[in-house]
């Protein structure tokens, strides 16, 4: 009986989504050029071949969602726009499972990013690259630019938390999260649980979203965007490996080590923001309830040049909303300066 | 608002009021430290329960001389470690190969002779 209801709901959703249900996940043409474990690197195809006079661009997505939020539709795609000016690469963190439970957080922000940068530099002949990180991807890019200052030309932090002090409701959840029990019993933080947490932050958000869908679903533009977003946010969750999640919560959210210049990799290499050289563009959003404005501040020890641009939108709106166009235009201007 | 109530203004207003009230209430609730800490305790209890049941299952399988889930996960993780090591070695090898090629090219340019035509150095160890 329950199975039948579930099937009926799924059929209804698929019928409503119509042609958009088969939309590609990531719209810009690409090829997988590198694979190591779960991590993949995509290179985006562009007319006229590689750009040789500007450093290549590496997109670093969040660890808790899939990469294609930055390439969701033709109209909103960051990748599509950046690809006109730079040779673009994207990291896909894949779908980590129990086999990745023991990997430390530093593997993601140092070892794997280093592999990606090594590969790109080897392929393009460039000595430095530009990076754009979204959400936790920005945190990873920032830490990488502290650890390997000579390899990063410019870095863009798109709604990325760096200062975890009073990071809103996420801090409160992190403070009370049963980390010890979690490490003893789980191989990863399940993707759907993470997704539910974000739903809980705005308890009536789901209801409002459904209302909006019923009001506007006849507009094909809206429907396309809605289906694309839902497929990304609800239908494609990613697990967060246990040890990395534990370290992320305890070292960043609870102890705020990055901002206090006390973070270190597993092999005891210090993450020192004062060593950073790459010029930085911070793109943040006033209505961001996941990464409040003050959380995008760089550590006091960081003396590198920076620019801050604030948009009157939310955490996801800054990538796919109407302000996303401004954000990507400014980002490209910053990189071309 | 979703037009479920048609032109019934009273119902519409009532729904809006309900939505606002519930919204405020839930907003307060999910931001309340006591509520969040109670939720965390419930989560901790569930995780402890999972830990115990996994342990019991593992013990049962061990008693039957069968591989446990924990052992299989550990084996998978070892494989990941081996894979990681191989990738690292592969990268080091590629770097080394690139350095060697660059060095040879530099010699070539300096001497104006292709590297293949340079006299080969004599091996110190003699083959038996």
pLDDT for A223: 87
Q: Which residues contact B14 (CB under 8 A, 6 or more apart)?
A: none
Interface of B with A (CB under 8 A): 1-3, 19, 22-23, 26-27, 29-31, 33, 36-37, 39-41, 43-44, 47-48, 50-51, 54, 73, 76-77, 79-80, 83-84, 87, 91, 94-95, 98
**Number of domains present in the structure of chain B:** 2
Same domain, B86 and B50: no
pLDDT for A205: 83
Q: Do A203 and B83 touch (CB under 8 A)?
A: no
The residue range of the domain holding B76 is 67-111
Alpha-carbon gap, residue A17 to A11, rounded angstroms: 10
- CA-nearest residue to A193 within chain B is B43
Q: Which residues of A touch B27 (CB under 8 A)?
A: 202-203
pLDDT for A213: 85
| Maximum pairwise Cα distance, chain B | 103
Same domain, B14 and B43: yes
Q: Which residues of B touch A214 (CB under 8 A)?
A: 2-3
Same domain, B28 and B60: yes
Same domain, B55 and B82: no
Is B126 among the domain residues? no
Domain positions in chain A are: 21-336
Considering only CB atoms, A169 lies closest to which of B31, B39, B95, namely B31
pLDDT tens per residue, range B95-123:
899 889 989 989 888 888 766 666 665 54
pLDDT for B125: 47
Q: Do A203 and B23 touch (CB under 8 A)?
A: yes
pLDDT along chain B (128 residues), means of 10: 67 87 89 92 95 95 94 95 94 89 89 68 47
Q: Which CATH architecture has domain A21-336?
A: 3-Layer(aba) Sandwich (3.40)
In angstroms, the separation between the Cα of residue B37 and the nearest Cα of chain A is: 6
pLDDT tens per residue, range A28-84:
999 999 999 999 999 999 888 888 789 999 999 999 999 999 999 999 999 999 999
Same domain, B53 and B97: no
Is B125 among the domain residues? no
For A172, A288, B127, the CA distances from B40, given in Å and listed in that order, are 11, 24, 70
Beta-sheet pairing, A306-311 with A279-285 = parallel
Alpha-carbon gap, residue A63 to A260, rounded angstroms: 23
pTM for this prediction: 0.88
Q: Which residues of B touch A104 (CB under 8 A)?
A: none
Rg (CA), chain A: 20
Same domain, B50 and B95: no
3-state helix, strand, coil in chain B (%, to 5): 80, 0, 20
- Asked if the interface predicted TM-score (ipTM) of this complex is over 0.90, the answer is no
Burial of A318 (0-12, 13-18, 19+ CB in 10 A): buried
Q: Do B30 and A169 touch (CB under 8 A)?
A: yes
pLDDT tens per residue, range A175-232:
899 998 999 999 999 999 998 888 888 888 888 888 888 888 888 888 888 888 888 8
Q: Which residues of A touch B98 (CB under 8 A)?
A: 122
Q: Which residues pair with A188 in a beta bridge?
A: A241
């Amino acid at each position: 009986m329950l199975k039948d209801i579930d099937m009926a709901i799924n059929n209804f959703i698929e019928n409503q989504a119509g042609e958009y249900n088969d939309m590609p996940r990531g719209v810009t043409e690409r090829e997988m050029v590198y694979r190591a474990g779960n991590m993949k690197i995509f290179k985006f195809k562009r007319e006229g071949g590689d750009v040789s006079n500007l450093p290549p661009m590496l997109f670093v997505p969040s660890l808790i969602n899939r990469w294609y939020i930055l390439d969701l539709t033709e109209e909103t795609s960051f990748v599509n726009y950046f690809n006109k000016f730079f040779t673009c690469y994207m990291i896909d963190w894949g779908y980590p499972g129990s086999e990745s439970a023991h990997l430390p957080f530093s593997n993601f922000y140092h070892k794997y990013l280093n592999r990606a940068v090594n590969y790109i530099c080897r392929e393009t002949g460039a000595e430095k690259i530009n990076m754009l990180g979204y959400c936790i991807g920005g945190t990873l890019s920032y830490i990488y630019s502290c650890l390997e200052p000579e390899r990063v030309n410019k870095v863009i932090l798109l709604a990325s938390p760096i200062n975890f002090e009073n990071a809103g409701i996420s801090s409160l959840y992190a403070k009370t999260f049963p980390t010890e029990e979690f490490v003893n019993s789980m191989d990863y933080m399940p993707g759907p649980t993470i997704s539910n947490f974000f739903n809980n932050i705005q308890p009536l958000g789901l209801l409002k979203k459904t209302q909006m869908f019923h009001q506007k679903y006849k507009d094909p533009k809206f429907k396309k965007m809605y289906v694309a977003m839902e497929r990304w946010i609800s239908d494609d969750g990613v697990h967060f490996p246990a040890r990395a999640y534990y370290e992320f919560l305890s070292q960043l959210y609870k102890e705020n080590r990055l901002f206090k210049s006390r973070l270190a990799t597993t092999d005891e290499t210090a993450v020192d923001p004062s060593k950073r050289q790459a010029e930085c563009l911070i793109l943040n959003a006033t209505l961001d309830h996941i990464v409040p404005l003050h959380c995008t501040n760089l550590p006091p020890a960081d003396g590198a040049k920076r620019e801050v641009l604030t948009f009157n939108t939310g955490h996801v709106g800054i990538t796919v909303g109407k302000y996303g166009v401004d954000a990507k235009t400014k980002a490209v201007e910053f990189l071309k300066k | 608002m979703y037009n479920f109530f048609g032109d019934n203004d009273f119902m519409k207003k009532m729904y809006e009021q309900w939505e606002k009230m519930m919204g405020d209430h839930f907003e307060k609730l999910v931001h309340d430290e006591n509520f969040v800490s109670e939720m965390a305790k419930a989560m901790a209890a569930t995780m402890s329960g999972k830990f115990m049941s996994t342990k019991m299952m593992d013990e049962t399988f061990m008693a039957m001389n069968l591989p446990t889930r924990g052992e299989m996960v550990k084996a998978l993780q070892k494989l990941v470690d081996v894979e990681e090591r191989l990738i690292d070695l592969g990268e080091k090898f590629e770097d080394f190969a690139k350095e060697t090629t660059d060095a040879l090219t530099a010699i070539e340019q300096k001497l104006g002779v292709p590297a293949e035509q340079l006299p080969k150095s004599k091996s110190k160890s003699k083959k038996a």
